[in-house]
Structure 1
């Protein structure tokens, strides 16, 4: 039996500056259609009063989350409040809430970009569902206000406040992510083409429209588990055959790329690209670790053939990500600057052919790695979560931290790969190869 939910609008205890506006960056605006969902599962009852008291204090540091849009440029610090819903499902056990196929969205309150844009809704919602033997904390946030890093940092800070412990104050200064618009439209397009970037036509968008319309892009597999020992084994195996120190991320990315090539049975001469999402915090000196907003970039490899060996793919990814490890980071800065200027000018150019992620046999493999996020440290003073269900953004390949007691990572495939994997027989050799490092 589900009890009627009760919603209260929580406001910051103190409004820093009611007339101030949190201005969207170009990257924030590009992320506006997306919503980040966080679902944290606890085997204890969360104390609602403690959570609300801490949340009121939290909003002082994140005033844009309780504000409203007055125009398209950003969010005014109106402190109109965030909907905080409490409901009970006393017949639902924790183990049942975590079952495969469970409707995860039921544990959070919906927010819609269209209503946020019109200034009707807050860009954040919170919901606590009390179970028979635990609780689920569901949070949804506009991606225009936060990326994954700042989203989970915000939740961590909320926990620190509830425990009366210190945390590093977030930085809400979008001017830090400033890219000078010093090139004309023609110059940006020429620079992009000189780098081998692709122009995405309107016709190409129409071809992939059904993938979005029919929800294929939201389909996701169950987790493929890679143990800590398995990851070390994979890294050692590859490192013995290459002439450079191979990171775990590069080794796993190469392996997953190779497995996707096998999944779609590409011919050896098929041209492919691997794409990595890179966090810019502490990589670009002007973007601190506490920066709130969107601060990431995509880094694409040069074209390579589907017939490339695992070691060859590893080398290609390693060399592509080399700018992220250099102290000057000028190459990364150039990539980011060109991307932002192209977005600002609404030029349909990208470092890779975006539509090839959604073709029947994808040749672009997009990997987003969350394994470095300490999401299992989200403790509000009661106990750490027993499970954190991954967000539902359409990352083609998502690398997610497994529970610390287990170690290692979980890998999820979404979109076309997910649909392909679900159609395969469970005794297919592909599954055995995927599971060799668990």
Structure 2
């Protein structure tokens, strides 16, 4: 039975590049996938594109492509990525430019566009999954991107693309696309499509399945995390999968790492809604078949819903933050006095806030003072953060923390302060007919 090898070159926008280079050079891959978009990532990318029409794609795009293109071209490995973010066309042009600079004449780069549906839904009373309607967000919306499926990726590969750059594609679709293209799976072969989504779901977060996010010292020990290897999926024509990694790299592929990733971000394992299929993971079987080799089968699927999820990014105020450290005897007591001073100052000055936190990092910042245990630490870091409607109000938060330098208590130092705009995310469902994708080809 025919098998193809797919490597995961990234699991998020800021992921390491070296493991992807190892895969490109030594993985004997048919495809290398870079999954780099989160819900907020594309909203922030839209803001970057609005500020500069030539931007809006992943900031590490050129660095990643420079690192892997020569080996991928030499070894016949095709690349699929959502690093196009809010601007797949500009991203594809940058990849073409990198290929020309590297002397890779003839390399074809495809850009998939059409996931941006802001114009199509603007002004509508579209219901939001979190409650309310799109109209409630008024003029604060900065982006609206639909999660497209594998179809445009299959089209790009059929057109001979060596690199396929998308915007907001569903994460598993980046892996399902090459499987459909390679094996000729029918668009209504729900079982195979469900298995393909299963493979994509397991591989999409890269180092998570090879022991990175899995590691917990003394409970789940994983060796060699500084040299963590990223996963390779060996996918058979019937959709069965073996997850592995390069020999000699750090981390581990075990039944436990695979099972944890299987359950990652899954609300209903019987109905995992995707653009191409409703995947069913409820009967999946996982077994070790060798060192760092785990076989996965039993995935299934049902007909897709005909609806696509849309991720809507909108401005939700600003966050002002200030931090200062206290050390030595009585550090916790001085830190708590400092918090009370800032709390009272913000009340006196009447700074309008919708949310505010007063934390001593390392003492009560995560779960509150009620769960703090043990003796007092020798040093603490105070943090005050508040959400405001305007940037000018957010500035006051850090300023009050900075004023602690000379306005008590004793021994504070290392102040930092910041103001940032909050981009929040809401979700909606739209008919798939609303989304019309386009394909553009660039040649080096």
If the length of structure 2 is used for normalisation, what is the TM-score? 0.26
Hey, which of these two has a bigger chunk of strand by percent?
Answer: 2
Higher relative contact order (CA 8 A, sep 6+): 1
